[in-house]
Amino acid sequence: MLCIILNTTEFICRIAWNTLEVRDCRHCEQPYEIFSEVVEHLKIATGGTNIQSVMTVFRPQRSDEVWGMRFWSNQFVRYAGYKDESSDTILGDPANAEFTTFLTSNRIWKPPSTRSAFDVLPIVLKIPNNDIPFVYELPKEVTHEVELEHPKYPGVKDLGYKWGAVPAISNFTMDLGGIKYPCAPFNGWFVSIEIARNLLERYNATEPLAEAFGMDLTDKLLHQKVSAELETAILHSFEKNKFTVVDPMTVGKSFLTHCKRERTSGRECPAQWSWIGGLLGKYICFYFMSTLSWPTC
């Protein structure tokens, strides 16, 4: 089961497959029980000096169910995106704007009275044969967020950027021999470039950060330079707060080590390069050009 979970084509940290803790919660039926296990999941994930990879498996989809029970939330910690129709702007994360609008317009969730760019969305759980979803706010003690600061540029902290410490995917469906588990949240840890992309592309953080770094806004390599310094801030901030994070080159090397081990054992290592390729950089080209063979895509 561990190999099936961690051999997905989009997952780069496969070398750590044997550290995944799988929690069997198939006995949980009541919404409050499920949410209680969500909280426990996050406690385990952040209970040590390093982030623990965890998967919590709830009951499978039954034959008479179209979807089974599932989370509408795609991650445990995601930020709201508030649309302003008058100015065609979004406060917060545009990736969650449609979901935020759905929750607020249907009165499923009431946002804070003072809205910000980093309001954590609730956990939304849909149970079969219940028209109204169950909505839960995560306790502060398990909603770990990392405020970003740079070791050389104090102005970065003043911008107020932050990100959730644990990437816990909650809308994943696991299919084991035709048995579907639509409610099987799991987490690993972040690669620094993932957070950098989210802030630069979704929060339009390039110019504010460039000014904090004292960079020339007309520089043709501005985006690349800002991205590099932002990753420095992310790595520094996560390590300072004692949360696991990895840089692209390190995770790239580990992935290629994993590929070599798999091939030595006579197994292919499938990969979706639109996801993984951008994180590996030169190490992909060097290794796979030298072997004249590519993993299955």
Give the model confidence (pLDDT) of 96-113 as tens digits.
Answer: 999 999 999 999 999 999
**Three-state SS at 155:** helix
The pLDDT confidence band at residue 9, using thresholds 50, 70 and 90, is low
Q: Supply the pLDDT for residue 260.
A: 74
Identify residue 140 by its one-letter amino acid code: K
CB 35 within 8 A of CB 124: no
Q: Using DSSP bridges, classify how beta strands 174-176 and 168-169 pair: parallel, antiparallel or unpaired.
A: unpaired
Which candidate, 16, 10, 76, places its Cα nearest to that of 41? Answer: 76
Percent of the chain with pLDDT strictly greater than 90: 65
Structure token digits, residue 176: 């084991």
Which candidate, 4, 56, 36, 16, places its Cα nearest to that of 183? Answer: 56
**Three-state SS at 73:** coil
Backbone torsion region of residue 242, taken as left when φ is above 0, otherwise alpha when ψ lies between -120 and 50, otherwise beta? left
Q: Is the pLDDT of residue 176 over 50?
A: yes
Q: Supply the pLDDT for residue 246.
A: 87
Output the pTM of the full model. 0.84
Distance CA 259, CA 268 (A): 8
CB 56 within 8 A of CB 23: yes
Distance CA 119, CA 111 (A): 8
Q: Is the pLDDT of residue 26 over 90?
A: yes
Distance CA 179, CA 176 (A): 5
73: Cβ–Cβ under 8 A, 6 or more apart, which residues?
121, 122, 123, 124, 170, 171
Distance CA 172, CA 170 (A): 6
The pLDDT confidence band at residue 18, using thresholds 50, 70 and 90, is low
Which candidate, 77, 99, 76, 68, places its Cα nearest to that of 183? Answer: 68
Distance CA 137, CA 227 (A): 32
Domains of the chain, first to last: 2-78+120-246 (3.90.1230.10), 249-291 (no CATH)
Q: How many residues does the chain have?
A: 297
pLDDT tens figures, 233-246: 999 999 999 999 98
pLDDT tens figures, 34-92: 999 999 999 999 987 788 989 999 999 999 998 899 999 999 999 999 999 888 899 99
Q: Is the pLDDT of residue 266 over 90?
A: no
CB 234 within 8 A of CB 148: yes
pLDDT tens figures, 196-237: 999 999 999 999 999 999 999 999 999 999 999 999 999 999
Q: Is the pLDDT of residue 250 over 80?
A: no
